[in-house]
């Protein structure tokens, strides 16, 4: 497999540090609100990458953190008059709800910053004693001039970095690019005691500590959105390599941003589209297909029209699978043959090429057409082979068609409304036999109708 490494800017052959094991870290969300579709892109892409590496036989250990100490969380907590932990825990639960609805697997470890404060403090002490950091008035800063390779990951010169985003100007710093490892507590802020007084960790150090504590000093893959390359990942790299003296990451992978009517989607411009709203509107598979149909390093334009077309495509595939399952209820494993091996090779060739998911998605939909054609022709053996490839291998590898479809529920609601209208007309025509039959047949299927003066309600007595 070849991966384009942000560090070298080149395609590189993927070889994990230890054969057979992939140690992977993805920067997770700052938990102060519900996640939006921009957050969902790395979730979908790197979940699929993890599944693909497993399909290829690797044991993948994946860590994704929760940033639970941050200005935004503290502001929210002060706004509501609660502890910052209550805000963080609330939005961590909401995150899991959304991730489950999207059908993204939980990482092996999901550490929180607040659980790693003692390790953070001892690492900051170590950085000071090694001459990479200095303390000023309760703050501790990383001295970028002590790390000559600073700027290597983001490929930026010092002046470009200084004018870059999120560099805090502060007269306590020796150099404008120096960044906080530890911040002295301000009034009304949560704090921990430290050798420099009461304070809390800076943002970047948390990822260094959580990743290396859980995965060791060199990670195989560090992934995240390209907006994190500078300064966050540049800083993570400097701190980690200063601490351990070893390369921090073998392969850096960054996904491009999602654009909403051409602009970068961000909370600051107010184009928020909550993931759960998008899931309700389009369904999990449509959203995943939308993301995977574009290469992860290319920007993707979000539009109602494009994502809706993936809702239709997802339905077409689901219908083909259901058609096969109702036609051939006994599903056996097909004998391996040349045709199957060729399709697998085609699938892997796409994904081995810097995780070219658009090609893999195109192959899946070619095979959906072939599945329908084989069933039309009554070619059961061929249909079984395609069904098996899609349902047992290719779709699960990309995380597709695993979550019960929200659109399916929407269709049920629409059909029920039609039945309720027909039943009302039958009753007005005094055709009670037929109207009762609708009610009884639905009841047998776990749907109860309840007549009220202003219409009919329905509710589900079983999972539909
Ligand atoms: Zn991070």
Residue 139 near residue 183, CB atoms below 8 Å: yes
pLDDT at 8: 98
Long-range contact set of residues 458-464: C-beta below 8 Å, sequence gap at least 24? 458/416, 458/420, 464/409, 464/412
Residue 119 near residue 209, CB atoms below 8 Å: yes
Which residues of the chain fall short of a pLDDT of 70? 164-169, 261-272, 404-411, 462-464
Tracing tokens 């390599």 back to the chain, one arrives at: 241
Q: Where in the chain is the domain with CATH 3.40.50.620?
A: 2-255
> How far, in Å, from the CA of 141 to the mean position of ligand 1?
18
pLDDT at 163: 74
275-397 carries CATH number 1.10.730.10: yes
> How far, in Å, from the CA of 358 to the mean position of ligand 1?
27
Cis peptide before 231 (omega within 30 of 0): yes
**What letter does residue 196 receive in the DSSP assignment?**
T
2-255 carries CATH number 3.40.50.300: no
> How far, in Å, from the CA of 233 to the mean position of ligand 1?
7
> How far, in Å, from the CA of 236 to the mean position of ligand 1?
7
> How far, in Å, from the CA of 268 to the mean position of ligand 1?
20
pLDDT at 338: 96
Query: What confidence tens digit (pLDDT) does each residue in 3-59 have?
Result: 999 999 999 999 999 999 999 999 999 999 999 999 999 999 999 999 999 999 999
User: Going by DSSP bridges, is the β-strand pair 21-26/59-64 parallel, antiparallel, or unpaired?
Assistant: parallel
> How far, in Å, from the CA of 41 to the mean position of ligand 1?
16
Alpha-carbon gap, residue 184 to 196, rounded angstroms: 8
pLDDT at 268: 46
> How far, in Å, from the CA of 453 to the mean position of ligand 1?
57
> How far, in Å, from the CA of 225 to the mean position of ligand 1?
10
> How far, in Å, from the CA of 232 to the mean position of ligand 1?
6
Alpha-carbon gap, residue 280 to 272, rounded angstroms: 15
Exposure class string for 138-164: b at 16+ Cβ within 10 A, else e: ebbbbbbebbeebbebbebeeeebeee
> How far, in Å, from the CA of 223 to the mean position of ligand 1?
9
> How far, in Å, from the CA of 212 to the mean position of ligand 1?
12
Q: Where in the chain is the domain with CATH 1.10.730.10?
A: 275-397
Rounded to the nearest angstrom, the gap between the alpha carbon of residue 38 and the centroid of all alpha carbons in its chain is: 9
> How far, in Å, from the CA of 242 to the mean position of ligand 1?
17
């Amino acid at each position: 497999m070849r991966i384009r490494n942000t560090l070298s800017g080149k395609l590189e052959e993927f070889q994990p540090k230890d054969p057979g094991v992939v140690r992977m870290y993805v920067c997770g969300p700052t938990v102060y609100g519900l996640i939006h579709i921009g957050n969902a892109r790395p979730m979908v892409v790197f979940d699929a990458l993890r599944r693909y590496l497993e399909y290829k036989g690797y044991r993948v250990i994946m860590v994704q953190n929760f940033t639970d100490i941050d200005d935004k969380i503290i502001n929210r907590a002060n706004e509501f008059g609660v502890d910052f932990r209550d805000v963080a825990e609330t939005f961590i639960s909401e995150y899991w709800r959304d991730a489950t609805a999207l059908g993204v697997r939980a990482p092996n470890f999901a550490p929180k910053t607040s659980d790693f404060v003692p390790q953070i403090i001892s690492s900051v002490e170590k950085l000071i004693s090694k001459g990479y950091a200095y303390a000023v008035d309760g703050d501790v800063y990383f001295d970028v001039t002590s790390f000559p390779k600073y700027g290597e990951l983001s490929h930026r010169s010092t002046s470009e970095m200084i004018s870059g985003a999120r560099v805090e100007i502060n007269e306590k710093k020796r150099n404008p690019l120096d960044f906080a490892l530890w911040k002295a507590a301000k009034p009304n802020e949560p704090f921990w005691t430290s050798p420099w007084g009461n304070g809390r960790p800076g943002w970047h150090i948390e990822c260094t500590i959580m990743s290396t504590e859980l995965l060791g000093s060199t990670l195989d893959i560090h992934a995240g959105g390209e907006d994190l390359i500078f300064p966050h990942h540049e800083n993570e790299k400097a701190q980690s390599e200063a601490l351990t003296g070893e390369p921090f990451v073998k392969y850096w992978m960054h996904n491009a941003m999602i654009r909403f009517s051409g602009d970068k989607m961000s909370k600051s411009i107010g184009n928020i589209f909550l993931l759960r709203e998008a899931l309700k509107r389009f369904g999990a598979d449509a959203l995943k297909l939308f993301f995977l149909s574009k290469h992860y390093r290319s920007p993707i334009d979000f539009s109602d029209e494009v994502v809706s077309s993936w809702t239709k495509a997802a339905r077409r595939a689901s219908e083909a699978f259901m058609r096969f399952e109702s036609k051939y209820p006994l599903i056996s494993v097909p004998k391996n043959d040349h045709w199957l091996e060729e399709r697998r090779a085609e699938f892997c060739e796409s994904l081995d090429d810097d995780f070219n998911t658009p090609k893999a998605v195109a192959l899946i939909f070619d095979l959906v057409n072939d599945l329908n054609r084989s069933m039309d022709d009554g070619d059961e053996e061929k249909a079984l082979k395609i069904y098996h490839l899609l349902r047992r291998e290719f779709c699960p590898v990309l995380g597709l068609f695993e979550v019960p479809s929200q659109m399916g529920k929407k269709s049920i609601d629409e059909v029920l409304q039609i039945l309720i209208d027909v039943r009302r007309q039958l009753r007005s025509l005094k055709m009670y036999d037929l109207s009762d039959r609708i009610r009884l047949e639905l009841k047998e299927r776990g749907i109860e109708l309840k007549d009220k003066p202003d219409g009919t309600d329905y509710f589900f007595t079983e999972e539909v």
